[in-house]
Amino acid sequence: MTLCSRSVGRPLVMGVLNVTPDSFFDGGRYIDHEAAIARGREMIRQGADIVDVGGESTRPGAAAVSDEEELRRVLPVIEVLAEEVPVSIDTTKASVARHAVKAGAVLVNDVSASLERVAAETGAAFVAMHRRGTPADMQNDPRYDDVVKEVRDYLAVRAERATKAGVKEVWVDPGIGFGKTAWHNLQLLAGLDELVALGHPVLVGTSRKTFLGHIAAGTLTPAGAIGAGAKPAPPEDRFEGSLASATFAMAMGAAAVRVHDVAATVQAARLVGPVRT
Ligand code: HH2
């Protein structure tokens, strides 16, 4: 049975657990292993289907972390939580992915979409995410002729590459906020059915991201533009947009959403599940 075919009768909710000092929303809260495990258990109680453990922030401008440090952060947490829930490892490093699967992770969530060999060798499922650029430069004026088509075509190629490498379960993810403007993110949500049509489970992560700060602050015009110098509301004020966008993504056919706010999103998933055709 694949991760995605587990019949919970609704889209899956992946809870975010960043064991980092600098993640843009939960950074610093769970850097202590006991605190991270407690948070993972809290998300399980709230109904999380998967807990996504990360040891390196991908936010724009984030500092790079060594393999050793990333492993030190995530492994003790994965070892415990993997006994209690399916765990995914959010990493772009082959050695971290390999050790994480050995410690019990069942899904390699790779924002660089390049670890398909590790997933194939270890038997883990694999998320191929679209991004443009690196955390250092990805938000420097990203441009697309047709963002939905370009992201879809990229994901089709990466998914095929992963399948050919022998990965048994390949997920795709449009990479909301990774080298995209607010308008690009909204277009990707509107065109999500085109990604769903690729035939792979689609994962969407909008939770607390900057474009929702512009929605909260009212600085995004209906035409999708943001005025020069407009400031987004801070991540703490982006709950409503996070829930609304996750609900929208699930209604559009996303198989799973990656969120910080598990309890509320599970309720939304329970609503979408029965009404989605
Ligand atoms: N977004 C983030 C990290 N990993 N993985 C997938 N598949 N899709 C996403 O949209 C995605 C992701 C960024 O969010 P977060 O982990 O909360 O922050 P940070 O990267 O600062 O740790």
Over the stretch 253-272, which tens digit does the pLDDT of each residue have? 999 999 999 999 999 999 99
How many residues are there in the chain? 277
In DSSP terms, 87 is beta-bridged to: 51
Residues in Cβ contact with 15 at an 8 Å cutoff, skipping those fewer than 6 apart: 40, 43, 46, 48, 50, 51, 52, 259, 260, 262
Give yes or no: 180 in active site.
no
Phi, psi (rounded to 5 degrees) for 37: -65, -40
Residues in Cβ contact with 142 at an 8 Å cutoff, skipping those fewer than 6 apart: 132, 133, 179, 180, 181, 184
In DSSP terms, 128 is beta-bridged to: 110, 172
Nearest-CA residue for ligand 1 atom 5 is 111
Over the stretch 144-202, which tens digit does the pLDDT of each residue have? 989 999 999 999 999 999 999 999 999 999 999 999 999 999 999 999 999 999 999 99
173 lines ligand 1 (CB under 6 A): yes
Nearest-CA residue for ligand 1 atom 18 is 23
Is a pLDDT exceeding 80 seen at residue 69?
yes
> Which alpha helices (DSSP H) does 123-170 contain, by range?
147-165
C-beta of residue 115 within 8 angstroms of C-beta of residue 94: yes
Give yes or no: 164 in active site.
no
Query: In the 8-state DSSP scheme, what is residue 15?
Result: E
Q: What is the pLDDT of residue 136?
A: 67
Annotated catalytic residue within 98, 209, 270, 276: 209
Phi, psi (rounded to 5 degrees) for 220: -100, 125
Segment 117-127 mean pLDDT: 98
Q: What is the pLDDT of residue 5?
A: 64
Segment 110-127 mean pLDDT: 96
Q: In what order do the strands lie in the sheet with 256-259?
A: 170-173, 125-129, 107-110, 87-90, 50-54, 12-18, 256-259, 203-204
Nearest-CA residue for ligand 1 atom 2 is 58
Chain-centre distance for alpha carbon 241? 16
Q: What is the pLDDT of residue 135?
A: 65
* Mean pLDDT of the residues in the chain: 94
pLDDT band at 141 (very low <50, low <70, confident <90, very high): confident
* 93 C-alpha to ligand 1 centroid (Å): 15
| Distance from C-alpha of 63 to C-alpha of 142, rounded to nearest angstrom | 21
205 lines ligand 1 (CB under 6 A): yes
Segment 92-101 mean pLDDT: 97
Lowest mean pLDDT among 102-106, 137-141, 211-215: 137-141
pTM as predicted: 0.95
92 lines ligand 1 (CB under 6 A): no
- Which ligand 1 atom sits closest to the C-alpha of 260? 17
Question: Residue for token digits 């038997």?
Answer: 123
Nearest-CA residue for ligand 1 atom 9 is 205
| Distance from C-alpha of 232 to C-alpha of 215, rounded to nearest angstrom | 8
